[in-house]
Structure 1
Amino acid sequence: MNKLKLLLLSSCFTAFSSQAVTVIVHPSNADALDKKAVKKIFLGKTKKFPNGDEAIPIDLKSGQLRGDFLKAVVGKSESQFKAYWSKLVFTGKGQAPRSVDSEAEIVDLISKNPNLIGYVSDGAVNDSVKSVGQF
């Protein structure tokens, strides 16, 4: 019985530990993107924004936010996402998103390049980038 209580309690904490993920682009880019469009970009199924401009995804190397983004938007765990891209890269059918170390780096890169798309926590968004969706 105690094990069951502990399991239920840990499940509650896990459910509340995820954070909202904000998808960002350069200010000159689209005003909004739905989850399906973002998912297609991060899975390499499309290389363009809805307006036809090139879309280049930027990913975090690791961390809770990355896991939350992959689960909420892409619909894959970190290991599933890695396996998905490993297969595409091995078969020559794609190139995995560039990975960076921090949210600050994502914001900096996107503020300088209108073709980039990435994700950060809500608190990392500033005037140099534009939020196009929160998931």
Structure 2
Amino acid sequence: MTQRFNINKPRVFAAAVFLSLCSLAQAEVAVIVNPKSSLGTLTPDQAASLFLGKSVTLPSGSAVALTDLPDSSAVREQFYSKAAGKTSAQVKAAWSRLTFSGKATPPKELASAADVKKYVAANVDAIGYIEKAAVDGSVKVVLTVE
């Protein structure tokens, strides 16, 4: 007589989703610039200032072209949470105020990390953020956020 083991598929699926979320929660986010950029490093405060529209230039004084991931991106949520201490809703509200008042233009939202990396690699004044595991020689890391 052969016994069959009944694997509870919903539990297996839930465990897989949980493990995926745990690994994503622990992923490092890299703030990236073009390799030709003169920027050496950024502090989390400097990154927050740029990505929240409080500063429109790099510490060197040069103009900056910010890129952002979509609202639905877990990497975006992690970046703003860790670097700026803000939720997506708070970031969106801050940019709405700045845009309405004419004080700043929000970052260019790109569809994926690959698009952000491609844009930054092609534009010397660009800055963005992606998962650190996606970094290659086409961009330079100036800050890592855990």
TM-score norm. by structure 1 comes to 0.84
Distance 2:48 2:84 in 1: 5
Deviates more, 1:108-117 or 1:29-38: 29-38
Q: Is the 8 A contact 1:41 1:56 kept in 2?
A: no
Unaligned runs of 5+ in 1: 1-11
Q: Of the two, which has the highest radius of gyration? A: 2
Aligned-residue identity in percent: 33
Taking the aligned partners of 1:41 and 1:32, their CA distance within structure 2 comes to 13
SS of residue matched to 1:93: coil
Letter paired with 2:33: V
Q: Which residue of 1 aligns with 2:105?
A: 95
Any gaps of 5 or more consecutive residues in structure 2?
Answer: 1-17
* Rounded Cα–Cα distance in structure 2 between residues aligned with 1:77 and 1:107: 23
Report the equivalent of 1:27: 35
Contact 2:53 2:98 in 1 (8 A): no
Query: Secondary structure of 2:137's partner?
Result: coil
Paired residue for 2:6? none
Tell me the TM-score normalized by structure 2. Answer: 0.78
CA distance in 2, matches of 1:16, 1:108: 25
Residue identity opposite 1:133 in structure 2: L
* Aligned match for 2:84, one of 74, 82, 97: 74
Residues 61-109 of structure 1: CA deviation (Å, up to 9, x unaligned): 1311010001011221001111111111122222111101100001100
Q: Given the alignment, which residue of 40, 46, 49 partners 2:55?
A: 46
Residue 104 of structure 2 aligns to a residue whose secondary structure is coil
Letter in 2 for 1:65: V
Pick the aligned partner of 2:46 from 12, 37, 40. 37
Letter in 2 for 1:21: V
User: In structure 2, what residue type is equivalent to 1:28?
Assistant: K
- Aligned letter for 1:99? E
